[in-house]
Structure 1
Amino acid sequence: MGDALTIVMTAIGLGLSLVLGRISVNQFHQVKSAAEFLLVRRTLRESSGELRRFAAWEHRSQLGAGTGVAAITKPGWILERPLEVDRIVLNLVAAPPDPPVDPRRVLMRYWPLSNTGRRYSRYHEAVSELDRPANWFDAACYRMVAVRPSATGSSLSLDLAATRYWLGFDTTEALAHEAAHVYQRTKGAKISGPFRRKLGDPFDFERRHCPVGFVTLTVRQDGDDSTFFLMRRGSKVATGVNMTAAVPSGEFQPSDDSPFSLRRDLDLWFAVMREYAEEFLGHDEVREHRGAPIDYDHEPPFDLMQAARRQGLMRLYFLGLGVEPLTWKAQLYTVCVFEGATFDRLFADMIQENAEGVLQLPSLHRGLAQPFQGWRFDEPTVRQYLDSLALSPSSRVALRLTWRHRFILGLTGDGPSGAGISGIE
């Protein structure tokens, strides 16, 4: 049933209930506005690929900065070659003043009525009441403030400030909701609304709360054979619903809300380790950790990952930075390359399904005390996923850049570096 017909049928049903005295006028408007809100949320889920492609087209003059990736970037943001992640400079700076564009003033027209008869003032409030994700809480996060490429284009320095998850959600995901609303109203003709127009410049991080996410392509290398891993995100996650994504991926945030962790966890490697624990090994959300801060050198499974990395048996590389065209969220692109036996040892108890989704695998067969096998890292498989609208934009960038740099990374592939994969975005 189409969205327009669904709204009509819902309105007819509510109208009959109102005439028959089953609901009050206030209840009629409240339920109707909630139904319309949820229909836009459904459009956002079911048409996310088209919305993201449309957004990429609208921002086509800002895409790639000559690098061939479908992300909003500036020169120097996508590195010319992979860099050990520790060589990226991350600075914790004081939070800038509140952004001049207040989402509440622009976006309340899109939010439904609460049981008080007034509209919800923030997107996360409406989502909490009507479409609550399974893993849903406000937490400390990092907010992008400034990006400074090196003069040679070989590194980046990032200024980050503390923020809260819902402040970022009320900006980036609300921007996507507005796009879905406009897309639905104009029957697919456009996605730009008042909020996107008021923000104006996706590179002006001080005009909005810009949360930072990261996406890591995991590659298992065993001689000349390399494989990579993807996950199908579930229907009850807060973002990226039903999208296929590189794994692990997540919010760049500290492990808890303490000032100590805010400073200590400004480290991409720590964030990636925590996501491996959750998405490959099924550990509970690490942010729910109670008591003392995480001891990464002595607490499993982080101690084993730390040791493997120090021995050069796993390597985490930074590939670049971009802004997603639909949400204007900043994304950090990385790849983690594991020596085969090390991967098998660390993830012998690997799970197929976690709290955020299900691993997409070529086979569910696995040996005793062995992890699942990933997809072959070869041109046909890489091309298949780069062609897929189901693959999230940030994951597509990470996969494309990993393929481009496969020989630098010591991975196998067909043809000269960068050959065979062109113009897919």
Structure 2
Amino acid sequence: MRNGEHRYRRYSHAVRDLARPALFENRLTFRLLDVDWSLPDRQLSFGTMGFFDGLDVNEALAHETAHEFLTRGPAGEVRIARPSWRRLAFRSLVGDPFDLTRHPVMGAIGTLTIRGGESPSVVLHARDGLRVAAGGSMIHLLPAGIFQPSSVHPESVANDFSVWRNTQREYAEEVLGHDEYDGTGEPVDYDRPPFAGMDAALTDGRLRAHCLGVTLDALTLAGDILTVVVLAPELHDELFADAVDQNTEGTVPAHRIPFEQNTIDRLTASGRLSPGAAAALRLAWQHRDALLG
């Protein structure tokens, strides 16, 4: 209820008034419309949408489920009742989660960054629930960000419609601490550092980029385009010599963790890995020979 007589018409309106996070803007984003890995040159199809269009569905689904199935015990402990579709009216309206015409799916791009070499390692991201609108208090991929243009300029909408360009900007923001490409500035000059160096490394093979697939969060139905970037050790150390230990969305651990089975199992058992991070780590480990060879 918004007041004694009226309800909020959109979930994002309630978040704005009652629990607004630090990063909360209804920016233009690219909407994932179709996935077909059999096509040679158009495996992912996109339209456009607003950020709040996704939030109104994704977070409302999670809130509905929590409202219906989380309870408190006598000692204040959290209890989870057995879920039932009959009590999830909004989720029933969404219908088939894999029918991307029934609910807006933002093409969020999450990248597992692997420092290659004889002892490969990764760094993950602890997201701050007070700063972000989704995925708060979880350990996620670094970098990760919504697939969206860097500016409202028509030139940017065209130039930035690229999974690779989006990943590059997220490296600049989340790893190197550049100002957020929040849609208000001029189009990005990709011929300047650090973008030019990344492009050169991609061309000569010191950097390799792969797509693992697309996942849907079982709770929120939020989508992740999962990618892996493998860097030669000396290139990684050069590109990220000035990496920050925190950014606008949370903290970045100062040390790298080994990319190996025991570490992945331990992180999974912690219960803090985001679904996207868990899937990326498992899939990357499954295909490690192809990725690291």
Structure 1 contact 228–376 (Cα < 8 Å) conserved: yes
1:150 corresponding residue in structure 2: 38
2:7 corresponding residue in structure 1: 119
Deviation at 1:239, TM superposition (A): 0.5
Deviations 1:154-213 (A, max 9, x none): 987111101110111111121111111112369522264101011110011111222221
Paired with 2:84 and 2:11, the residues of 1 have a C-alpha distance of 18
Structure 1, 136-145 or 155-164: larger mean CA deviation: 155-164
2:75 corresponding residue in structure 1: none
Paired with 2:166 and 2:196, the residues of 1 have a C-alpha distance of 14
2:120 corresponding residue in structure 1: 226
Paired with 1:156 and 1:321, the residues of 2 have a C-alpha distance of 14
Structure 2 contact 110–142 (Cα < 8 Å) conserved: yes
Give the 3 Å change call, closer, same or farther, for CA 155–405 of structure 1 in structure 2: farther
Structure 2 contact 126–252 (Cα < 8 Å) conserved: yes
Choose from 186, 193, 203 the match for 1:310. Answer: 203
Choose from 213, 223, 227 the match for 1:320. Answer: 213
The reply on whether 1:180 has 2:72 as its aligned counterpart is: no
The reply on whether 1:251 has 2:137 as its aligned counterpart is: no
User: What is the SS of the residue equivalent to 1:398?
Assistant: helix
Moved over 3 A (4+): none
Q: CA RMSD in A?
A: 2.0
User: What is the SS of the residue equivalent to 1:409?
Assistant: helix
Deviations 1:376-397 (A, max 9, x none): 1122112212333100011111
Structure 2 contact 27–183 (Cα < 8 Å) conserved: no
Identity %: 37
Please identify which structure carries the higher helix content.
1
The reply on whether 1:159 has 2:45 as its aligned counterpart is: yes
Structure 1 contact 322–331 (Cα < 8 Å) conserved: yes
User: What is the SS of the residue equivalent to 1:349?
Assistant: coil
Paired with 2:94 and 2:71, the residues of 1 have a C-alpha distance of 21
The reply on whether 1:260 has 2:146 as its aligned counterpart is: no
Deviations 1:80-119 (A, max 9, x none): xxxxxxxxxxxxxxxxxxxxxxxxxxxxxxxx324x8422
Deviation at 1:260, TM superposition (A): 2.9
2:233 corresponding residue in structure 1: 340
Paired with 1:155 and 1:333, the residues of 2 have a C-alpha distance of 18
2:286 corresponding residue in structure 1: 404
Counterpart mapping for 1:23-422 below 5 A: 112-114=1-3, 117-150=5-38, 157-184=43-70, 188-189=80-81, 190=83, 192=85, 193-222=88-117, 224-236=118-130, 237-288=132-183, 290-291=185-186, 293-298=187-192, 300-360=193-253, 364=254, 373-410=255-292
Structure 1: segments with no counterpart, 5+ residues: 1-111, 365-372, 412-425
User: What is the SS of the residue equivalent to 1:166?
Assistant: helix
Structure 2: segments with no counterpart, 5+ residues: 73-78
Deviation at 1:264, TM superposition (A): 2.3
User: What is the SS of the residue equivalent to 1:149?
Assistant: coil
Output the TM-score relative to the length of structure 1: 0.63
Give the aligned residue type for 1:242.
Answer: S
Deviation at 1:308, TM superposition (A): 2.1
Give the aligned residue type for 1:160.
Answer: F
Structure 1, 255-264 or 138-147: larger mean CA deviation: 255-264
Structure 1 or 2, whichever has the larger Rg, is 1
Output the TM-score relative to the length of structure 2: 0.90
Deviation at 1:309, TM superposition (A): 1.8
Paired with 1:390 and 1:301, the residues of 2 have a C-alpha distance of 31
Structure 1 contact 180–191 (Cα < 8 Å) conserved: no
- Aligned length, in residue pairs: 283
Give the 3 Å change call, closer, same or farther, for CA 310–240 of structure 1 in structure 2: same
Give the aligned residue type for 2:162.
Answer: D
1:91 corresponding residue in structure 2: none
Paired with 1:265 and 1:288, the residues of 2 have a C-alpha distance of 11
Deviations 1:385-419 (A, max 9, x none): 233310001111100111011111126xxxxxxxx
Paired with 1:327 and 1:260, the residues of 2 have a C-alpha distance of 33
